[in-house]
Structure 1
Amino acid sequence: MSRKIKLGILGGGGDSLIGILHRVASAMYDKYEVVGGAFNPELEESISFAKEIGIGTDRIYKDIDTLIEKEKSLPENERIQVVSVLTPNFLHFPMAKKLLENGFNVICEKPMTTTYEEAKILQETQEKSGSIFAVTYTYTGYPMVRQMKEMIANGELGKIQKIDVQYYQGWINSIIHDKEKRSSTWRLNPEKSGISCCVGDIGTHAFDMVEYVTGLEVREILADLNYLYKDNVMDIDGTVLLRCSEYVKGVIRSSQIATGEENNFTVKIYGEKAGLKWEQENPNYLYMLEEGQPMRVLKPGHPYNSKLSLDGTKLPPGHPEGIFDSMGNIYKGVARAINGEDYHPAEFPQLRDGLRGMNFIEKAVHSHKEGNVWVKIDE
C-alpha cells in the first residue's frame, strides 16, 4: 500500500467554499493526508479550525515562513510534500515563489498571480526547482470536458471554425450597486485582487477552457469591458473576441452582473463536421450536433468515452458527479506526478496554463483601455 502524500494548506479556513472544495477533493482517491498549514491569518483561529476539521495542531503554523522553516527541519520522509495555496489573489505569487524556492510542490488557486510579470518569474522559479506546479482551473477535471477534448483531438468535429464560451454569474449585484460595499470588498480592490475582477475571476476559466478543449492557442483578442460605475476601477462584465488563426475565431462572454444567473458556464465548439456543447450546471451531458442528424447526448462512465474521460469517472453511469469530483480529478493527476507515475498531460492544468491566463487578463484590460483594439497574446 502506497504512502499518502502529505498535504499542507494555506488559507481556506472557516466557511470558505474553496477550502472545503480542496479538502474534499484531496480525500477522494485516498492519495493525500492533510497534515498542517496556516488556514487563517491568526494562529489561534487556525488551531481552532484544525481541531474543528479533525487534524492535529502540532503542524499548524502562524505563517508561511514558519511552515517552511519547521517542515524543512523534519526528516525528508516526514515533511509536507505539496502545499495548496487558497488565499486571496495577492498572496498567491509570494507564497508560491517561496514554496518553490524551498523545494515544495504547489497546487495554486487561480488567477495564479496578480500580474503577468509575476507569472513569468514564477515560471522561471519552477523551472529551476523542478517542483510540480498545478493551477486549479477546476472545470478541466469534468469527465465530459475531457471527453470533449479527446473528441476534438481525434478529429470528430473536423477543422474548428467557431468558438463560443459563456460564463455568467449574478452574485456581485448585491455589492456593486451599494457604494460602501463596492468600495470595501477585496474582490474590487486591485491591490488584493489584481487589475481585473470578472475577467480575472471567471473570464480566465473560459480562456483556459478554450485552449484546453480545442488544443489551439488564442493569438489575438479584442475586449470590451463594463465597470458600471465611475468609482469602480475593476471590470464586472465583459466580452472578448478571439482569433486563434485567420479563419478560427470566437468569443468569450463573462459577467458577474447577469442578474439571476448562478454559475452558467457554457462551452460550444463548432467544426466543419460537427459541434459539441457542454454546460457546467448540467455537467454530465455532452451534446454532439451534426447537420441532418439527431442530436446525440454523451454521458460519463460509458465505454464509448475516452480513456482520459473514464479515468475521471468514479461512479457507474447515471450517478451524477459534480464540482468536487472535478477538482478531485485534478488532485489525482497531481498525485501521480508527485509519485513519479505516468500521467496524461491533460490531467491537471500546469504553470504554463496559469501564465497564459495572466497574459490574457492583462491583454484584455489593455485592449479595453486602448479603445477596444486587437492585441496579441504572447506565444
Structure 2
Amino acid sequence: MSKIRLGMIGGGLSSFIGIVHRIAAYIGEEYTLVGGAFDTDYDNAIKFANKLELDPSRTYPDIDTFIEKESALPSDQRIEAVVVVTPNFLHYPMAKQLIQAGFHVICEKPVTNTAAEAIELEELVNKHKVVFALTHTYTGYPMVRQMKSMIAEGIIGDIQKVDAQYYQGWINPVIHDPEKRKSVWRLDPAKAGQSCCMGDIGVHAFNMIEYTTGLKTLKVLSDLNTLYADNPLDIDGTAMLRFEDEVRGIVRASQIATAEENSLRISVYGTKGALKWEQEDPNYLYHLEDGEPVKVLKPGHVYASEFAKQSTKMAPGHPEGIFDSMANLYIGAAKAIRGEEYIDGAFPTIRDGVRGMKFIEAVLESDKNGNTWAEIDD
C-alpha cells in the first residue's frame, strides 16, 4: 500500500515542533513528506526543501499557492494530508482553507482562537468529509491509553475525583522584565489568542481528563493570574471542574512554576482504586488500591490492553517517548484517511478541539466574572 502523501505548512528550518511532526510521521512508515509552504521567507523554504532533498517545485511561497498548485495535480500525485504547524493565530484560517479544498488536516493546538471558530471547522470537516487530527500528543502514550482502557473497564470503579497538573517554569526569565515579555509571542493576544497558560498547557490537562475518563466537564470555576497589570494574558491558573454524577476535578496550570520543565500529571480516583501517570516518566502507570501494594504497569507486556499494545512499538524495558506518542496519532489518522478500522481515541479530532476551546473560554469567563461557575455545553 502506498504511503500517504504529506504536506506541511510552517515547520521549516527554525521550527522545533516541525521536527517532532516529521519524525512522528516517519516512525509509523505511513506517510512521505512531499512538499509544503515551510516558511514565510521563500528562500529559507527552498533551503529547507533542499536540506530534506524534497522536490523544490513542490515547495511553495504561501498557502494560497500551495492549494492552487496541489489541487491542479492528478489525484494520484497531489498531497493528501497537510500538517499545520504555525503560530496559534494562523491555525483557524489555514485549516479552514485546507478543509474547503478537500485536504485531510493534522493540526497543532489550540485548534483555533475561539470556540465559535472551532465549531465552524467541525461543521466544515463534516461537510467535506475529511479527517481532522488535533495533536494533543500526550494521548498517544501507551500507558495513557492503558489508563483509558482500565477506567472504561471499571477496574477502579466509579470515578470520584480527578486531579490534573501541568507545570512549567520557562517564562520566568522573561516575565519580570517589561521589555523582554513584549517580545514573547505567546504573551501577544494577536498571535497567541485569548489565553497563554490555559490556552497552551492547561487545555492539555483538560483534554487528558476527558480523554482518559470519558467524563464531560459541565462547569468550571477558575482563578487566573497575569502577575503584572500590563501583561495581557494569563501565565498561571487553577480551574475547579464539575462533571456528571457530582464528580469533582481540578486543573492546575502554570508557566511560572520555577524550575519545572514539563510536569504534566494526572490522577484519577475511583471507588475501587486509583490510577496515576506523569509525562516526565511516561512508561509507568501506577495502580493504587486500599490495603494493597502499589502496582506499576509498563508498556509491552501481556497484561496491557489491546489499545496499549497497538500503541507500543518496542519490547518491554525499552522506553518510548514524545516522538513515539506523536507517531501513534499519525498512525491513527492514517487509518482514518485510508478508511480503515481504528480504535476510538486513536487520535484527537476536531471535537476535542471544540471541547478545548470551550474550556478555555469558560475558564476566562469564570475568572472575569469574579471566580464564578461558568458552564460548558456539549
Instruction: Calculate the TM-score normalised by the size of structure 1.
Output: 0.99
2:308 is matched with which residue? 309
- Render the CA deviation track for 1:306-360: whole Å, top value 9, x for unaligned: 1100101000000000000000000000001111111012100000000010011
1:125 and 2:128 are equivalent in the alignment: no
Kindly state the Cα deviation for residue 29 of structure 1 after the two structures are TM-superposed.
1.3
Within-5 A mapping of 1:21-36: 21-36=20-35
CA RMSD of aligned residues (A): 0.7
1:276 and 2:270 are equivalent in the alignment: no
Partner SS state of residue 7, structure 2? strand
**Cα distance between partner residues in 2 of 1:316 and 1:15:** 34
**Cα distance between partner residues in 2 of 1:246 and 1:139:** 27
Instruction: Specify every segment of 5 or more residues in structure 1 that has no aligned partner in the other structure, as ranges.
Output: none
1:326 is matched with which residue? 325
Kindly state the Cα deviation for residue 53 of structure 1 after the two structures are TM-superposed.
2.4
1:335 is matched with which residue? 334
**Cα distance between partner residues in 2 of 1:312 and 1:15:** 30
Partner SS state of residue 57, structure 2? coil
Partner SS state of residue 246, structure 2? coil
Within-5 A mapping of 1:101-120: 101-120=100-119
1:360 is matched with which residue? 359
2:75 is matched with which residue? 76
Kindly state the Cα deviation for residue 245 of structure 1 after the two structures are TM-superposed.
2.4
Instruction: Specify every segment of 5 or more residues in structure 2 that has no aligned partner in the other structure, as ranges.
Output: none
Kindly state the Cα deviation for residue 246 of structure 1 after the two structures are TM-superposed.
4.6
2:281 partner amino acid: N
Partner SS state of residue 56, structure 2? coil
Partner SS state of residue 163, structure 2? strand
2:319 partner amino acid: P
2:7 is matched with which residue? 8
Kindly state the Cα deviation for residue 281 of structure 1 after the two structures are TM-superposed.
0.3
Moved over 3 A (4+): none
Kindly state the Cα deviation for residue 119 of structure 1 after the two structures are TM-superposed.
0.7
1:232 is matched with which residue? 231
Partner SS state of residue 55, structure 1? coil
Within-5 A mapping of 1:187-206: 187-206=186-205
2:87 is matched with which residue? 88
**Cα distance between partner residues in 2 of 1:245 and 1:196:** 27
Asked if structure 1 preserves the Cα contact closer than 8 Å seen for 2:237 and 2:253, the reply is yes
2:291 partner amino acid: G
Asked if structure 1 preserves the Cα contact closer than 8 Å seen for 2:222 and 2:237, the reply is yes
Asked if structure 1 preserves the Cα contact closer than 8 Å seen for 2:88 and 2:191, the reply is yes
Report the identity percentage. 58
1:153 is matched with which residue? 152
1:211 and 2:204 are equivalent in the alignment: no
Partner SS state of residue 244, structure 2? coil
Partner SS state of residue 163, structure 1? strand
Kindly state the Cα deviation for residue 15 of structure 1 after the two structures are TM-superposed.
3.1
Q: Which moved more, 1:9-18 or 1:352-361?
A: 9-18
1:145 partner amino acid: V
1:224 partner amino acid: D
Partner SS state of residue 283, structure 2? coil
Partner SS state of residue 161, structure 1? strand
- Render the CA deviation track for 1:73-101: whole Å, top value 9, x for unaligned: 10001010000000000000000000000
Asked if structure 1 preserves the Cα contact closer than 8 Å seen for 2:215 and 2:244, the reply is no
- Render the CA deviation track for 1:120-163: whole Å, top value 9, x for unaligned: 11111111100000100000000000000000000001000000
1:298 is matched with which residue? 297
**Cα distance between partner residues in 2 of 1:258 and 1:272:** 32
Asked if structure 1 preserves the Cα contact closer than 8 Å seen for 2:171 and 2:255, the reply is yes
1:254 and 2:253 are equivalent in the alignment: yes
Kindly state the Cα deviation for residue 51 of structure 1 after the two structures are TM-superposed.
1.3
1:162 is matched with which residue? 161
Instruction: Calculate the TM-score normalised by the size of structure 2.
Output: 0.99
1:223 is matched with which residue? 222
**Cα distance between partner residues in 1 of 2:237 and 2:205:** 12
1:51 is matched with which residue? 50
**Cα distance between partner residues in 1 of 2:54 and 2:326:** 21
Kindly state the Cα deviation for residue 52 of structure 1 after the two structures are TM-superposed.
1.6
2:61 is matched with which residue? 62
